[in-house]
Chain A
Amino acid sequence: MTLAVQGLATHFFTHAGGVKAVDGVDFSVEPGQIMGLVGESGSGKSITGFSILGLIDPPGRIVAGSIRFKGTEISNASEADFQRLRGNRIAMIFQDPMMTLNPVLRIDTQMIEAIQAHETVPRRTAWEQSRAALGLVGIPAPEERLSAYPHQLSGGMRQRVAIAIAFLNKPDLIIADEPTTALDVTIQAQIIHEAQKLTRETRTAMIWITHDLAVVAGLADRISVMYAGRIVEQGATDDIIDRPLHPYTVGLLGSVPSANRRGARLAQIEGMAPNMLALPPGCAFAPRCQHADATCAQVPEMAAVSGRTVRCFHPVSRP
């Protein structure tokens, strides 16, 4: 087991009140596995990723739960411990590659720095490793790219460099936060292809955070769907996409145009995502849910139903 998260709760204590951005999240990832973490804006998917890497700043705090990375508890690790882990054993890929890249340093400087921060190797060896890493993510003429500055590269190339840096030290886990959202369709297909190939070859576990179910349908082994800080449904990709049980997952999948007859009105989820400062008591999805009744005033527990876990009192029954 590469990563096991249990009961993770990350809250933000703001002047306007407490925000339970992540409130009791459980999941685990095994070597070579890709888990899709799906949710809309404000669902807590990115904060879950940041919590694993120890990147939560005040007013935010991990208030409960355990994060075990290869058997070691890291939710309370010191900053020095995290510096040994980050970029080495656990790496992150951001939506905007300029979050990873320093605009005033050449690509080779940044890549060599990332290697030498964790390992004593000669500069020449580190340079060779960097060149090999750029080649692996499909960058043509890697020698030339190494001496370029980030602004000289296209958005797709920058994201490849960021992915190459993430894979540099052969990490056990990569957290990718919407890494293809800002990219074009053909470039997205290339990046997904490379990421899939690399995780298979290196047995790196990956958490792919996205709002796009269609992307993880073609990429992930398992999917966790988040809503308002909690995972509402979790299971194998085929189960979640083909046979969703939680009304929110059912609604999300039903509102995708390809699930509807051409030109017909789309099945839509009514209402909008709840205000995280004033969550409804009980199930957060209840105000938008057609199946909601009095029992939904309680928070449902995650329960195992036909091969996956669902947080719902009234899972959608299938014919």
Chain B
Amino acid sequence: MTEAVTNTGGDWLRLIVGLILVLIFSQLNALFLVWLERKVAGHIQLRYGPMEVGPHGLLQTIVDGIKLVGKELITPFKADKKLFVIAPVLVFMPVLVPFLVLPFGPELIIRDMNVGLLLIFAFSTFSVLAILVGGWASNNKYALLGAIRSVAQNVAYEIPLLLSVMSVVLMVHSFKFSELVMAQQRIWFIFLQPVAAIIYFICATAETNRAPFDIPEAESELVAGFHTEYSGMRFGLFFLAEYTNMFIVCAVATSLFLGGWHGPFGFSLGIPGVVWFLAKTYFLLFVLMWFRWTFPRVRFDQLMNFSWKVLIPLSMLNLLVTALVLKFV
């Protein structure tokens, strides 16, 4: 392609190595997160969680993955065969793209694009598309209801999500991740933009279909929602994509509001940037899991009302105030 995308010229080696690392990291990370979720759930619920395979069940998810690969891929008789098969691929491919621009450390950005932040949000919308296609192609009423809920929810929550992100972008004048993070060397944006940070995190929870906003796959109502009919590794792809998406939204939250690879208030304490970054991201992931095992599920209408009547006006107001302060102060 051209310089517009790559910025630093045709450094193909870097791109290829980066892609391979992304694939390995995103897979291992998703497997680790599944394990972590089960552990967190277990300890919150007075259990141990997986303990059998590997030390403290660390290898459990790998074994589960092997089991999923070995399972029969069932395609319902009345399903739309082509779309049914495409949907899991469609949900999994876009979640790999954001890793290209995530700032893991000062030197650990595969491509520091000047539209990096937008790239992530552009591709995150595709997971909704995949859910919609998968839910519809299953030709199952529960799956269809789950897909419909998912779309309504994602459309509603993407607006405040982008608006809250915009107020940070206004402060930095850039969509570039390295600049966004560098601007937080002294003080993290969570202290300057607390409202935006909270709105972002709530919307991110909803965007990734996590409890208490997990209504697209609300098991007590819709059995398994949009992936009711999926089995084997097709289900596995939906599952891995969900956890990779969680990682992405938390990584974005870290780089936008928690100073990315910086330590608090400019003190790095001799710890490398990538460690700071991952520590903060995993802390946010833990908070997401904590939510899930603590809160009941909100109802569909409450969910929509919350976004349209509370979050969108609030984020709009926040954006306006940010703009006014930046202009006149």
A and B assemble together = no
- Give me the interface of A with B, judged by CB distance under 8 Å: none
- Give me the interface of B with A, judged by CB distance under 8 Å: none
